[in-house]
Amino acid sequence: MDYFPLFAELHQQPCLVVGGGAVARRKIDLLLRAGARVTVNAPELDNELAVLVERKQLIWIADTFKPDLLDAALLVIAATNDVAVNAEVARLCKTRLKLCNVVDDRNASGFIMPAIVDRSPIQIAISSGGKSPVLATRIRQQLEVSLSKQLGQLANWADEWRDDVRSHFDDSNNVRHFWRDLFASPTADKVLTNDIAGANRDMSDALANSADVAEGEAYIVGAGCGDPDLLTLRGAQLLQQADIVLYDRLVAPAILDIARRDAEKISVGKEAGAAISSQDEINALLVKKVGAGLRVCRLKGGDPFIFGRGSEEIQALAKAGLRWQVVPGITAASGASSYAGIPLTHRGLARSVVFVTARDRHDQPPPNWKALAAGEQTIVLYMGVAKAAEIVAGLTNAGKAADTPIAIVQNGTTRAQRTVRGELGQLAELIAQQAITAPAVIIVGEVTQLADELNWFTGNTQTEARWSDVAFNADNNQ
């Protein structure tokens, strides 16, 4: 975060603007709209500012810059056409611990004026940190079009009901859930279309019919297979509603940033051979939190129902009589293969695809290698890096040719994605030579040869990546 965003209460607060031209006028207009008491220090004023002075909406100090004026100002804006004067204003503000904005000079500024979407009391400020004001303005224009002009009216209406809602519930989480549900309901639409009477009736009915004890719910959400942008819209919506987020080791920080700032975030990630939280512990924690009336988002890498163990968590919730819903995610097989330019089926090469985990419970028999080796099918192996030798032996002993084309996609769909191709018999050697580690998927089949023609994603060719780059591309929840 380059700048700390805040909304300053400037009503009747003294502010100083140095400069009296068109640039200064634009800043003065914003300060006056915020209710500030503005003093302008400039030898001359443009016509519009002169009118404001005549109306006693501004105080004008008709002179060159007077440093003593800084002492009484809460905020200062330097908006002259003289770079030296602006620099001097900024320098003196720093020595006197005053926040100063220098127009068109972010390096000298102590604060930056954002682009603003004004739906008072709802306000949205957009800043590029001074690096691209035009981009910030473009974002503001997009928001202006997409947000109702009556959004402020909705906020004011909600404020009128605030005390009634707060007195109806004993728990702050229940208050938050009530408002979230209401803003997503037709009641909010009635306010936005000026049907205030109808909205008031709805609100009265909603309070009369709402229970003081909220019912918790679990959102079992597939976080996708690597690129944070691949999280589904529904997944993002539920993540924003959650009171608590339980997340796997490979869930990207950018995904967690979507959650509410005040939501509790608990890592329940597991690594192969070194469990941080057992599945039973995760199930128990999920049941405990949902049973307490909380909305819990269980973020799982990939898809919850493809080697994600989401079904086991739902069984625990169902046994406890609790509510849940499932949001699918893009699994590692489809995500990594797509970003590597490898179709999992292709006419004439593969008429089916099978997903198989190379690692399972220790008391389970190995995969049915004979069934996997047969037919025109693509094999995608999850969690197979440490089992490469067993995979080669199992498939070749079952009749799969040692020269069958393969691909290993590491950190799929992220900037650190790397694809290594070769033949089945070389699998263990390739993994060792290329220092491939999890998360990675192994794709076996003729379709891997299409990567040269269909590859489109360049990613980042560096073999070492930061944690935030690696993100999450495998459904490694076993």
Which of the residues 27, 98, 190, 270 is marked catalytic? 270
Q: Annotated catalytic, 248?
A: yes
Integer Cα distance of 407 and 444 in angstroms? 7
Which of these, 89, 87, 130, lies nearest to 106 by C-alpha position?
A: 130
Which of the residues 202, 227, 243, 248 is marked catalytic? 248
Give CA angle at 467 (462, 470), nearest 5°: 55
Q: Annotated catalytic, 469?
A: no
Entry field: residues in the chain:
478
C-beta of residue 285 within 8 angstroms of C-beta of residue 313 = no
**Residue 451 phi, psi dihedral angles, 5° rounding:** -60, -35
Tokens found for residue 206: 């909603």
Give, in order, the Cα–Cα distances in Å from 362 to each of 358, 390, 476: 11, 14, 16
C-beta of residue 427 within 8 angstroms of C-beta of residue 406 = yes
User: 45: which DSSP letter?
Assistant: -
In the numeric block, the tokens 């191709």 are attached to 421
C-beta of residue 232 within 8 angstroms of C-beta of residue 251 = no
Name the residue type at position 281: E
Among all residues, which ones are annotated catalytic? 248, 270
